[in-house]
Amino acid sequence: MNLFPYTPRKSQMAIMQTIKNTLVSEGDMVFESGTGSGKTICTLTSTLEYALENNKKIIYTTRTNAQQRQVILELRAIRNKNKDIEEKIFGVGIQGRSNMCLLARNDPEFSNGAAEELSKFCSNEKKKAKSTKKDKDKGCIYYRNSLDKEKVDSTIEWVNQNLPTAEEFIDFCEKKQLCPYEINKLLIRKSSLVVVPYVYVFDLMIRNMLFDCLSCPEEDMILVVDEAHNLPNYIRDSFSAQLSMYMLNSCVMEAEKYGDPSIADGKLSISDFCKVLIDIVRDLRDTYVYGILENGIRTGPPRNNDAFIPSHEFETEILSRLKITSKTLHDIVGDLMVYGEKIQEYCQKDGKLPRSYLHKLGLFLDFWISLEMNQYAKLVVDARNGKNPRIEAFCLDPSVGTGIIRDFHSSIHMSGTLEPLEEYRDSMDLGENIELVSYPSPFPKENRRIFFVRDVTTKYDEILRDEKILSKMRNHITSICNTFQKNTMVFFPSFNIMSMFKENGDFNGINRCLYVEDQEMSQTALMDLVSDFKGHGDEDGDGAALFSVMGGRISEGMDFPAEQLEIAVIVGIPYPKPTARQRGLQRYYDMKFRKGWEYTVEAPTARKLLQSIGRLIRDENDRGVAVILDRRASRFKRYIRDLQESKNLMEDMKSFMEK
Ligand code: SF4
């Protein structure tokens, strides 16, 4: 079988052969291949060939909806090229329920619902629709229509013929007034490929639902993880838990709305209990983040907005302030969950989202009290400028969520920026036998230059010592933007640093059309801004400048082929801030692998740099130059092999551009 729909490059043949070997040996593989090298099509083709020949299914996980769309478009290309077996080449894209549930996505309250809330809401709507078939006003209308076999069959036929992306499928169902989520369940069973967000594999409840629909054992499934460099942080976040002041205030309001029952053998009401928790969270913040001593004296300005707290301090404070035993505290946690469930039922009966803050509080306390500390750090965080402090159980070790990977027939993990591959393997606990491969860029080396300069840095101490550094930095940015009539992107390490430059008037000397990304910008506004910027690079365009940040929505996910981007300027090295969370991670990786700095500071920083530089070259005809404005860039030669120092930046850039 040879399903590849284009003429493959040599490097693509090598990728496909290694994937094939991995699948045959039922192994696992982690690989890095630069942006634009065709990872998606290579992986899709080789896993699909194997799946069709060996009766397997592919679970292809992506981080964003745009990546998911790309996979479905490539599947269509494969099918168009292989007409003789087109009926076998079938797959579906699935998004989260908040996008696929038509009742939820058109309602501001429901569209923010958590997966569990939406699932309960949906079950109830379906129950009502089934039990009151004659009453057309009860239950979900989209579900009711989805019980009509004729309508469903014609929709499945349309999907068969068109292989729609998830967005196209949802639009089609909306026009037909059918539930896309329910119909997708039918489609999943006959698919060789399902393309899903990470949550469908790494959240137990959602995974069970998916696997039930697939009705095939894990050992007959192949897992693909796209943009794998995002997965460890994704798992850390989803296995962490937080309790904020806003959440506790919502608990107080909810308790008062529903009669504020008493707990702890009638000693106090639920709202009083929550108010005590609010005081404790605030006091922990004052003590550990602000450094305020018992006598009210502050030990100095906070260095960061978070701090470690001793592992049992929160619950010890609860016991001592309320004068209760740990047994009573456990009873309170149980009561909160029971009351919370009742409130969820009331909401459901009222046709509302079954949401209860008290239920969430019960779950959080239960988790917090029974937490095994070796894979977690307990923190207090001062968010929203002091208005919303929170405590947080931060998951340090993503391997808490990766056990499922071993159950698959094979797993393929890929990214354009994953070096050092050992870090990913170790963090995810994928075992020593996994295949690690790094493919060189298939594009001509002479099409890309990466310079760095030594006269500037964004290192905080040095900026404080030498006030000329920032003006030199400004001169570099201004000269590059004003000299070359090419589309230029300037990436800052953070929105804060970008604002600092902006407020200093450092952008005023730029004589080009200038676009600046705003952190709060909606996705639509951002897309409009990017599309205007791209327009300046098109043939006969005068070239514009776009200022953005590393690790953001532009540097990590958007394509700028040909003249849409020819110069990338990187302002400083985007090292992570030395927050308590970051220090906790570094310490944990030091203890576990003796590689704290390398795995938690150097590697993520290199990935951010490479992601930004990676916007320049998307195919063999693209040309571009990147400039890193920071002397510390020399430390990243191991990751950026074609990095070279420039002693005369403008001349070096000119000579490259004129070639
Ligand atoms: S049946 Fe579909 S549209 Fe109706 S509530 Fe459930 S997911 Fe939403």
Helix/strand/coil (H, E, C) string of 160-204?
Answer: HHHCCCHHHHHHHHHHHCCCHHHHHHHHHHHCCEEEEECHHHHCH
Amino acid at 634: S
Sequence-distant (≥ 6) Cβ neighbours of residue 336 within 8 angstroms: 263, 270, 358, 359, 361, 362, 365
Domain assignment present for 233:
no
Same domain for 179 and 217, yes or no, is: no
Atom of ligand 1 nearest to the CA of 143: 1
| pLDDT one-digit tens code per residue, 247-264 | 999 999 999 999 999 998
What are the C-alpha distances in Å from 464 to residues 265, 292, 457, 499?
59, 27, 11, 18
CA of 412 to the centre of ligand 1 (A): 33
| pLDDT one-digit tens code per residue, 36-53 | 889 999 999 999 999 999
Best mutation site among 140, 152, 178 for ligand 1 pocket (most ligand atoms within 8 Å of CB): 140
Helix, strand, coil percentages (3-state) for the chain, rounded to 5, are 55, 15, 30
Same domain for 492 and 553, yes or no, is: yes
Q: How confident is the model at residue 629 (pLDDT cuts 50, 70, 90)?
A: very high
CA of 142 to the centre of ligand 1 (A): 6
* DSSP structural state of residue 601: I
Please give the average per-residue pLDDT across 81-102, as a whole number: 92
Q: How confident is the model at residue 621 (pLDDT cuts 50, 70, 90)?
A: confident
Same domain for 9 and 33, yes or no, is: yes
CA of 178 to the centre of ligand 1 (A): 9
Atom of ligand 1 nearest to the CA of 97: 7
CA of 175 to the centre of ligand 1 (A): 15
CA of 114 to the centre of ligand 1 (A): 14
Share of the chain above pLDDT 70, in %: 98
Domain assignment present for 231:
no
67 C-beta neighbours (distance < 10 Å), count:
17
CA of 119 to the centre of ligand 1 (A): 9
Q: In the chain, how many domains are there? A: 4
Domain assignment present for 232:
no
d(CA 376, CA 236): 10
Same domain for 174 and 271, yes or no, is: no
Domain endpoint, select from 398, 433, 459: 398
Q: Does position 22 have pLDDT exceeding 90, yes or no? A: yes
First to last CA, the chain: 44
d(CA 66, CA 554): 13
d(CA 219, CA 485): 55
Please give the average per-residue pLDDT across 530-553, as a whole number: 87
Best mutation site among 119, 125, 152, 176 for ligand 1 pocket (most ligand atoms within 8 Å of CB): 125
pLDDT of residue 1: 58
Same domain for 86 and 112, yes or no, is: no
> Could you give the 3-state DSSP secondary structure of residue 603?
helix
Q: Does position 294 have pLDDT exceeding 80, yes or no? A: no
CA of 351 to the centre of ligand 1 (A): 13
CA of 115 to the centre of ligand 1 (A): 12
Counted residue by residue, the chain has a size of 659
Contact criterion met (CB below 8 Å) for 160 and 90: yes
Domain endpoint, select from 398, 432, 462: 398
CA of 181 to the centre of ligand 1 (A): 7
Q: Which of 120-134, 173-187, 407-421 is predicted with the least confidence, judged by mean pLDDT?
A: 120-134
Same domain for 60 and 197, yes or no, is: yes
d(CA 139, CA 144): 8
Backbone angles phi, psi at 364, to 5 degrees: -65, -50
Same domain for 484 and 581, yes or no, is: yes
CA of 123 to the centre of ligand 1 (A): 8
Contact criterion met (CB below 8 Å) for 243 and 282: no
| pLDDT one-digit tens code per residue, 191-246 | 999 999 999 999 999 999 999 999 899 999 999 999 999 999 999 999 999 999 99
| pLDDT one-digit tens code per residue, 580-604 | 999 999 999 999 999 999 999 999 9
Domain assignment present for 105:
yes
Atom of ligand 1 nearest to the CA of 102: 3
What are the C-alpha distances in Å from 598 to residues 424, 556, 573, 582, 603?
12, 21, 15, 13, 6
Best mutation site among 95, 117, 181 for ligand 1 pocket (most ligand atoms within 8 Å of CB): 181
pLDDT of residue 135: 62
- Reference 99, options 118, 117, 76, 116; nearest CA is 118
Element at 383 (helix H, strand E):
strand 376-383
What are the C-alpha distances in Å from 200 to residues 105, 195, 196?
19, 10, 6
Output the average pLDDT for the chain.
Answer: 92
d(CA 20, CA 14): 10
Please give the average per-residue pLDDT across 386-402, as a whole number: 95
Give, using CA atoms, the residue closest to atom 6 of ligand 1: 122
Give, using CA atoms, the residue closest to atom 1 of ligand 1: 143
Instruction: CATH number of the domain at 180, please.
Output: 1.10.30.20
Residues in the ligand 1 pocket, defined by CB under 6 Å: 101-104, 122, 125-126, 140, 142-143, 179, 181-182
Give, using CA atoms, the residue closest to atom 7 of ligand 1: 101
Give, using CA atoms, the residue closest to atom 8 of ligand 1: 101
Same domain for 418 and 487, yes or no, is: no
Atom of ligand 1 nearest to the CA of 123: 6
- Reference 280, options 257, 312, 241, 325; nearest CA is 312
Q: How confident is the model at residue 138 (pLDDT cuts 50, 70, 90)?
A: confident
Q: Which of 346-360, 421-435, 446-460, 549-563 is predicted with the least confidence, judged by mean pLDDT?
A: 549-563
CA of 122 to the centre of ligand 1 (A): 5
CA of 118 to the centre of ligand 1 (A): 9
Q: What angle (nearest 5°) sits at the alpha carbon of residue 335, between those of residues 332 and 336?
A: 85
540 C-beta neighbours (distance < 10 Å), count:
5
Best mutation site among 100, 116, 147, 182 for ligand 1 pocket (most ligand atoms within 8 Å of CB): 182
Domain assignment present for 234:
no
Give, using CA atoms, the residue closest to atom 5 of ligand 1: 122
Contact criterion met (CB below 8 Å) for 288 and 307: yes
| pLDDT one-digit tens code per residue, 458-513 | 998 898 899 899 999 999 999 999 999 999 999 999 998 899 888 888 889 999 89
Contact criterion met (CB below 8 Å) for 474 and 506: yes
Q: How confident is the model at residue 649 (pLDDT cuts 50, 70, 90)?
A: very high
CA of 44 to the centre of ligand 1 (A): 31
Same domain for 113 and 205, yes or no, is: no
Atom of ligand 1 nearest to the CA of 180: 2
Atom of ligand 1 nearest to the CA of 141: 4
Domain endpoint, select from 388, 423, 442: 442
Domain assignment present for 119:
yes
Domain assignment present for 53:
yes
Best mutation site among 94, 117, 126, 144 for ligand 1 pocket (most ligand atoms within 8 Å of CB): 126
What domain range is 69 assigned to? Answer: 1-90+191-226+409-442
Best mutation site among 105, 121, 122 for ligand 1 pocket (most ligand atoms within 8 Å of CB): 122
177 C-beta neighbours (distance < 10 Å), count:
14
Please give the average per-residue pLDDT across 29-34, as a whole number: 94
Q: Does position 299 have pLDDT exceeding 80, yes or no? A: no
d(CA 45, CA 215): 23
Atom of ligand 1 nearest to the CA of 182: 2
DSSP string for residues in 543-594: --EEEEETTSTTTTT----GGG--EEEEES--PPP--HHHHHHHHHHHHHHS
d(CA 307, CA 604): 22
Atom of ligand 1 nearest to the CA of 179: 2
- Reference 633, options 377, 463, 458; nearest CA is 458
pLDDT of residue 108: 81
CA of 120 to the centre of ligand 1 (A): 10
pLDDT of residue 462: 92
d(CA 417, CA 603): 10
Instruction: CATH number of the domain at 320, please.
Output: 1.10.275.40
Sequence-distant (≥ 6) Cβ neighbours of residue 286 within 8 angstroms: 292
pLDDT of residue 539: 66
> Could you give the 3-state DSSP secondary structure of residue 91?
strand
Q: Is the peptide bond preceding residue 420 cis, with omega within 30 degrees of 0?
A: yes
| Tokens 């490539």, residue located | 74
pLDDT of residue 133: 60
pLDDT of residue 521: 85
Same domain for 294 and 332, yes or no, is: yes
Alpha helices in 222-373 (DSSP H): 231-239, 245-257, 270-284, 313-322, 326-349, 357-369
pLDDT of residue 132: 66
Atom of ligand 1 nearest to the CA of 121: 5
Best mutation site among 99, 101, 145 for ligand 1 pocket (most ligand atoms within 8 Å of CB): 101
Same domain for 181 and 106, yes or no, is: yes
Same domain for 644 and 496, yes or no, is: yes
Instruction: CATH number of the domain at 4, please.
Output: 3.40.50.300
Domain assignment present for 403:
no
pTM as predicted: 0.90
